[in-house]
A and B are shown apart, each in its own frame.
Chain A
Amino acid sequence: MALTEQELFHSLGKAFGPRIQLQTEFRGETTCTIAANDLRDITKFCRDELLFDYLIDITSIDNFGEDPRFEIIYHLYSLPHAVHLRLKLKISEDSGALDTVSDIWPTANWHEREIYDMMGLKFNGHPDLRRILMWDGYPFFPLRKDFPLEGLPSEMPDVAFTKVTPLEGGPFVTVPSTATSKDREPRARPPEL
């Protein structure tokens, strides 16, 4: 029997109480903020008891300059109930690690590898935590805010290399206006404008 959202989140709140730190709703979708060490308990409950059987995506945010620096968001969906749920948690730069959910939803395996590759966060208990987009041995984590868009030179004998990309004054941006495209899309725009 399909449960309504209220019933689902009522039972979630009953099971975990204050461990659900904050629950907000936006346009009919609910977001819960949780602590990193509650992740496995809550996700297991969500899958087994609330039937959130579909992990849509895992995303990571680098809030550079804040503490805790990183934020991870799990986008869940329940096919039987047709309900969305987002779980948010924060990771400090010092720990830089959280538990894997790849045994709960197998699709998390590659999502977590991508987050490791791009953000440098480690997943405890992941069966195969290798880079997925860049090559093994690449020394940087390109989606961190302190990584420049044009890249950094890397030299890995027998593996690969990168050079700094010429941006020619860019990154290229578009200024919204009714001006001609030549004026709207300058090849280079000083960052203070």
Chain B
Amino acid sequence: MGVFSGLDLLLPIACRAAGFCKDGSILRACAVALTLLMPETHATAYDSKVEGNIIFTRFDAALNWVRKNSLWPMPMGLACCAIELMAAAASRFDIARFGAEVMRFSPRQCDVMIVAGTVTYKMALAVKRIYEQMPEPKWVIAMGACASTGGMYRSYAVLQGIDQLLPVDVYISGCPPRPEALLAGLMKLQEKISGERSFRNQKPELAEKLEEALA
């Protein structure tokens, strides 16, 4: 793959996503979008070195592909589910196969919070604060019965499901769920991310400009 200007570097990344994009609606938007994002860079001329590496795709598809294959988790391990979370990261199950091996203990570097365990009311506020410290875009996996519904702890001290405080993307059943279940939940989240309208949601003005330019 040839490495040229910043534009040329981004293009093949975006283009490779087309292979993973199932909807098949290949649009011309990508090259235009990158040109608008970086108007000072020059446009790529035909180059035999990059031939075959260029595929046209939607900008969303490229962005989502980049995001979903590098989900850095915030390991919010609060109880025994955290042991299964650790097992999922270890060699036998190897969460690195799904690009989520970089457990970050700083919320500012995380994409997905895995709430693994019983959330007591006393801990709930800390969980919420850590969630709020994570940069957008961010997702939440409620791992296990306790994080999803309070589980067997029908008690005055336990929050009955983390979804009372945070928006949850994926719930994983089990007490605790096996590491395979966590991996399945992670793959569900990846599916969800690949269907998101991320570019339009986050940069509505730029998306509008693009549409005008394409019209």
Chain A residues close to B by CB (< 8 Å): 133-135, 140, 142, 147-152, 160-163, 165-168, 170-172
Collect the chain A residues with CB atoms within 8 Å of residue B122's CB. 133-135, 160
A162 and B160 in contact, given A150-B154, A151-B155 (Cβ under 8 angstroms): no
A150 touching B156 by the CB < 8 A rule?
yes
Collect the chain B residues with CB atoms within 8 Å of residue A162's CB. 121, 156
When chains A and B are docked, how far (Å) is the Cα of A150 from the Cα of B158?
10
Collect the chain A residues with CB atoms within 8 Å of residue B157's CB. 133-134, 142, 151
Report if B124 contacts A (CB, 8 A): yes
User: Distance (Å) between the CB of A179 and the closest chain B CB?
Assistant: 22
User: Distance (Å) between the CB of B150 and the closest chain A CB?
Assistant: 7
Known: A165-B150, A165-B160. 13 other contacts (CB 8 A): A133-B122, A133-B157, A134-B122, A134-B157, A135-B122, A142-B157, A147-B156, A149-B156, A151-B155, A160-B122, A161-B121, A162-B121, A172-B154
When chains A and B are docked, how far (Å) is the Cα of A171 from the Cα of B136?
41
Chain B residues numbered 154-206 whose CB sits less than 8 Å from any CB in chain A: 154-158, 160, 164
Residue of A nearest to B152 (CB): A172
Q: A147, A148, A152, A166: which contacts B160 (Cβ < 8 A)?
A: A166
Residue of A nearest to B125 (CB): A160
Chain B residues close to A by CB (< 8 Å): 121-122, 124-125, 150, 154-158, 160, 164
Q: Which of B154, B155, B164 has the most CB of A within 10 A?
A: B154
Q: A134, A147, A152, A165: which contacts B158 (Cβ < 8 A)?
A: A165
Q: Which of A140, A151, A170 has the most CB of B within 10 A?
A: A151
Residue of B nearest to A143 (CB): B156
Q: Which of A142, A162, A172 has the most CB of B within 10 A?
A: A162
The 10 A-B pairs of least Cβ separation, nearest first, read A151-B156, A165-B154, A135-B122, A142-B156, A167-B154, A162-B121, A160-B121, A165-B160, A160-B125, A165-B155
A165 touching B121 by the CB < 8 A rule?
no
